[in-house]
Structure 1
Amino acid sequence: MVRVHRLVRWWLIALCGSGAAASIAAEVELAGVFGNKAVLVIDGGAPKTLAVGEQTRDGLRLLEVSGAAAVVELDGRRQRLALGAAPVRTDQATSGASGVSLFPDSRGHHFSNGSINGASVRFLVDTGASMISMGAADARRAGINYRGGIAGVSETASGPARVWRVRLDTVRLGDITLHGVDGLVHENDLPFVLLGMSFLSRMDMQHEGSRLVLRKRY
């Protein structure tokens, strides 16, 4: 049975030319998945159904279909598309610094898919959080032995909550990858992972219209 959800858009950016700053952009919409195939709409054209391993004439290849998501690749660069997720734009700045653009949802929140220690997570950008904060279930999926971390108590809207401070080996958001990032694991599960200042303080953050642009500083 075909499962069709709200369209998800991702801007694919591929550097072209030797040392050139120009780029090729394609707007890709994930319209549905069934079995090992994904239905993609590229630049508003007719829907194209690709099986895993197939690619379009423009070189967009479908690498993986898993549940309600797909992984695609263009010019050696990969992106995971999750049905129902907010659009993400990844690009490469002329200085060579990796960058990610996040577009707000209807309530003005900036969400994005990413990963911690290789495990897929759903991030919410939160400049009010001192560290990346996650629930116990996300921590277990990421292979984090959080009970071996530094125990403490955090004040939440529901009252005091038991937490553990840990060190995250790898945090990835689009083309941005950081290593050795401080994190906080809550005893209870959270609906998403808060992308706090232990990650954001290492970014240059700019608002360009409605989108939030993050570029890695170090």
Structure 2
Amino acid sequence: MVRYVVFLAIFLCNGVLQAEPVVRVVGLFSDAAVVNIDGQRTLLKAGQEGPKGIRLVSADSRGAVLSINGRQQRMELARDYNQGGYSTPEKQRLVIARGRGGHYWINGSVNGNSMPFLLDTGASSVALNEAQARRLGIDFKTNGRPMQVTTASGVERGWQVSLRSVKVGAIEVLGVEAVVLEGSFPTDALLGMSFLNRIGWRQEQDALILEAKY
């Protein structure tokens, strides 16, 4: 009986020492991931070990493979792993790594049509050039409000329009104000503050974090 009690005590003690950490993958890149481990956020590259001895085995746009207490576990974006299994977070979150030129680029959609964006916190609204607007099927000259827009190259003619929806990742905002500029400027569609002000966003290390407010 005494041996049984001692064995049980050792078993329980070991169980406490080996308790699974709470892990959340909050950002996914090629061969890298932003991982939240017991509330501590860190950027891990493939093969790198982080807090609690957790190692990133591999990562892509669909998920990450982590080694947790010697066991490999594949995790999708923003799902928790602990002894109880998985749970979906309350808010949709997107982590964007700094890209070429120190800028943040992301593929999204406008009115259901794909559109690559350059995130620009200095732009007051989403901004498109004529060709981009036409490709998206936006009749800006008929439905838009003519306006003058001051840009780095001077004053340009533009049209203020309302986009039915703008979506990046799983974050979608309806009824977004945008400006269509005459000519080929901006070269890249700008995801400006008319979208960003409707969600939460912040910069951490070399990543920009977007989070739905609902």
TM-score of Structure 1 vs Structure 2, range by shorter chain: 0.5 to 0.7
- Which residue in the other structure is 1:175 paired with? 170
Higher helix share: 2
Assess if the C-alpha contact under 8 Å between 1:117 and 1:143 holds in 2.
no
Letter in 1 for 2:209: V
| C-alpha distance in structure 2 between counterparts of 1:170 and 1:118, whole Å | 7
TM-score (norm 1): 0.59
Match of 1:154 in 2: 149
Aligned to 1:118: 112
Aligned pair count reads: 148
1:191 alignment partner, SS class: coil
Contact 1:162-1:186 at 8 Å conserved across structures: yes
- Post-superposition shift, 1:106? 3.9
Moved over 4 A (4+): 10-13, 92-95
Question: How far 1:12 moved relative to its partner?
Answer: 9.2
C-alpha displacement at 1:204, in angstroms?
1.4
User: What SS does the corresponding residue of 1:101 show, helix, strand or coil?
Assistant: strand
- Structure 2 residue runs without a partner (length 5+): 1-28, 35-56, 66-72, 81-87
Superposition RMSD in Å: 3.2
* Letter paired with 2:193: M
Matched, 1:9 2:9: no
Quote the sequence identity (%).
34
Of Structure 1 and Structure 2, the greater strand share is in 1
Q: 1:98 to 1:26 in 2, by over 3 A?
A: farther
Give 1 or 2 for the bigger CA radius of gyration.
Answer: 2
Instruction: Give, in whole Å, the separation in 2 of the partners of 1:154 and 1:144.
Output: 19
Please say if residues 30 and 59 of structure 2, whose CA atoms lie closer than 8 Å, have aligned partners that are also in contact. Answer: yes
Instruction: Give the TM-score, by structure 2 length.
Output: 0.60
Contact map agreement 1:133 1:194 (CA 8 A) in 2: yes
Q: What's the offset of the Cα at 1:28?
A: 2.1
Match of 2:177, SS state, is strand
2:132 is paired with a residue whose SS is helix
Preserved CA contact (<8 Å) 2:111 2:166: yes
Quote the offset at 1:156 in angstroms. Answer: 1.4
Confirm or deny that 1:215 pairs with 2:211.
yes
Unmatched segments (≥5 aa) in structure 1: 1-7, 14-24, 30-39, 44-57, 60-73, 76-89
Aligned pairs for 1:188-207 within 5 A: 188-189=183-184, 190-207=186-203
Cα distance, 1:153 vs. partner? 0.7
Asked if residue 27 in structure 1 is aligned to residue 59 in structure 2, the reply is yes
SS of 1:170 mapped into structure 2: strand
Structure 1 residues 175 and 117, CA gap change in structure 2 (3 angstroms): same
Q: CA deviation at 1:157?
A: 2.0
Contact 2:78/2:89 (<8 A) preserved: no
Mapped to 1, the partners of 2:100 and 2:156 lie a distance apart of 30
Matched, 1:138 2:132: yes
Cα deviation code 1:43-96 (max 9, x no counterpart) = 6xxxxxxxxxxxxxx99xxxxxxxxxxxxxx98xxxxxxxxxxxxxx5469652
Please report how far the alpha carbon of residue 99 of structure 1 lies from its aligned counterpart in structure 2 after TM superposition: 1.1
Q: Which residue of structure 1 lines up, in the alignment, with residue 102 of structure 2? A: 108
